Amino acid sequence: MHPTSSAILGLHHVTLVASNAQRTVDFYARVLGLRLVKTTVNFDDPGSYHLYFANETGSAGTVVTFFEWPRAPRGRTGIGGTHHFALRVADRDALLRWKRRLADLGLRVIGPYDRNYFTSLYVRDPDGQIVEIATDGPGLWWDEQVGVTASHTPPAEKVRGGRDEAAIESITWPEPVTTIDAAMQLTRGMHHITAMTANIERTHEFLGHTLGMARVKMTENFDDPGTRHWYWGTADARPGSLITYLERPATDRRAHMGTGQGHHYALAVADEDTQLLFRERLLDAGHHVSPVMDRVYFKSIYTKDPDGHIVELATMGPGFLTDEPVTTTGSALRLPPWLEGHREQIAAHLTDIDRAPWPYDGTDGDTGMRGHPGRRLMITPQVETTE
């Protein structure tokens, strides 16, 4: 059976592991300007926070979520795990304004790098997770016809070893950037999520054949020339629909779950009927698939890609406004009905979160996070290979 009238609609969310909820709120809400759209707990581990950051209403494809596991070991990128996720901006000028703003806030920023199909810079969150900011254009189809995907070798001047790193590092916005303007807003959603595989052909069998996603680009890793980097998404290859994989030798290190690492990524499906069609198809292909799980804001099934990375298929609805209005969403602890009877006990295990705007947020880029007592981000100083 093949879902004919419905398909994977794009990215739904990415979920990562954080060591400290307050630092995570500081970075994603106050520094990057995402909205804390839901404060709840991990339904499978109610003693820990599950924080959702997104646009105003929590639209699918804009959602970045975190489990707070303070005692978890530090995670490690590798085969079977998420490498990074990318948020979107409108254009290169907006990207350069982000570079200036983040650098002025005391963060190490790498780029901008010309990736042929978009331009990117990279920063790490407080736990070391790589966060990419990427432009929408010129897009994945500029060098080939829609639906005709061929292998591409990147230009030598854009890959590691051939590009002018010193010149790239010197590029920034000339003036301090004290506010996040409309073009910079990261609430436009994710551009892509990148994971790692030991066999990209096998990954294509999973994403392209079993899940029916379009393979929209076959290129090389610009930071590891000669190794394959493929993209899947909707047929129009639009930002927000893209999942990409870097291929590494099977002997390379495997991912370790922990802080600063992805837990899973989720793809969006229209509704529960479509979800059940995909569940049946995954089972027919020999994959283990969870029962349908009620996440209150969406329904989910879970499987794993061939390298063992957890992949979720989540419905578009009912959405994050199902249990609180848009004006207050995220401001108080929300629990699913089956946990409400344990609210007092659950809340006692959670630390309070300060959501009040910093007095200088958006008005004092000269001081930024460096001047906020007790809130230093302790960013990992070395940003490893990105794309």
- Alpha-carbon distance 125 to 369, whole Å? 13
Residue 31 lies in a domain: yes
Nearest to 114 by CA among 151, 158, 154, 72: 158
Residue 373 lies in a domain: no
The enclosing domain of 178 has a CATH number of 3.10.180.10
Residue 383 lies in a domain: no
User: Which two tokens mark 289?
Assistant: 């698939």
**190-197 and 242-247 strand pairing:** parallel
- Alpha-carbon distance 348 to 346, whole Å? 5
**E strands, 77-227, in order:** 82-89, 110-114, 119-124, 130-135, 190-197, 214-220
What residue type is 354 in one-letter code? D
Residue 16 lies in a domain: yes
Walk across the sheet containing 293-294 and list its strands.
35-42, 45-54, 63-68, 10-18, 262-269, 310-318, 298-304, 293-294
- Alpha-carbon distance 329 to 354, whole Å? 15
Residue 213 lies in a domain: yes
- Alpha-carbon distance 7 to 360, whole Å? 45
Range of the domain at 63: 10-349
Residue 366 lies in a domain: no
Residue 387 lies in a domain: no
Overall number of domains in the chain:
1
What does R_g of the chain's alpha carbons equal in angstroms? Answer: 20
Residue 272 lies in a domain: yes
Tens digit of pLDDT at every position of the chain (387 positions): 444 447 999 999 999 999 999 999 989 998 899 999 999 999 999 999 999 999 999 999 999 999 999 999 999 999 999 999 999 999 999 999 999 999 988 888 999 999 999 999 999 999 999 999 999 999 998 888 777 788 999 999 999 999 999 999 999 999 998 889 999 999 999 999 999 999 999 999 999 999 999 999 999 999 999 999 999 999 999 999 999 999 999 999 999 999 999 999 999 999 999 999 999 999 999 999 999 999 999 999 999 999 999 999 999 999 999 999 999 999 999 999 999 999 999 999 999 998 877 654 433 344 444 444 444 444 443 334 444
Find out whether the peptide bond into 318 is cis, omega within 30 degrees of 0.
Answer: yes
- Alpha-carbon distance 114 to 343, whole Å? 49
